[in-house]
Amino acid sequence: MFGISFSELLLVGLVALLVLGPERLPGAARTAGLWIGRLKRSFNSIKMEVEREIGADDIRRQLHNEHILQMEEQARRILNPQTPPVQPPVTTATVQPPAGLEATPDATPAAPTAPAAPSEPPQPPRAP
């Protein structure tokens, strides 16, 4: 990571052994390991928080852009009321004639039928 080779680590270990002595070296190594672990956890938590904030900023920006697009659409509708709103194209499906009937190109569509009568008469309103 920092370009430290094995020989450099060995040199640091020998200097620590000479300075601290064999009695205090294991305790110092343990303490150094705890501090390094705490630093790593702190950096990771800061990194996660920054990433979360960046994600929240992206979401806010996206919502803001959608709001602006909606306002622009409303302004267009207000300024040009005679133009109809854009409708998605309607797809037509081919209709198969009922069994027993033939479809002819010159056939005229049947007249619309009246809606069916309700099966039950409407109930009169109840008095309070």
Render pLDDT for 74-113 as a digit per residue (tens, 0 to 9).
888 888 877 555 566 666 655 565 665 555 555 555 555 5
Return the structure tokens found at 103: 């479809």
* 20 contact partners, CB below 8 Å, separation of at least 6: 28
How far is it, in rounded angstroms, from Cα 104 to Cα 100? 13
18-48 burial: b if 16+ Cβ within 10 Å, else e:
eeeeeeeeeeeeeeeeeeeeeeeeeeeeeee
Q: Would you say 85 and 77 are in contact if contact means Cβ atoms under 8 Å apart?
A: yes
Do residues 63 and 54 make contact, with C-beta atoms less than 8 angstroms apart? no
Amino acid 93: pLDDT? 56
What's the whole-model pTM score? 0.40
Q: Residues 34-83: pLDDT tens digits?
A: 999 999 999 999 999 988 888 888 888 888 889 898 998 888 888 887 75
DSSP designation for 90: P
pLDDT of residue 81: 73
Q: Rg of the chain's alpha carbons, rounded to an integer?
A: 40
Q: Which residues contact 28 (CB under 8 A, 6 or more apart)?
A: 16, 20
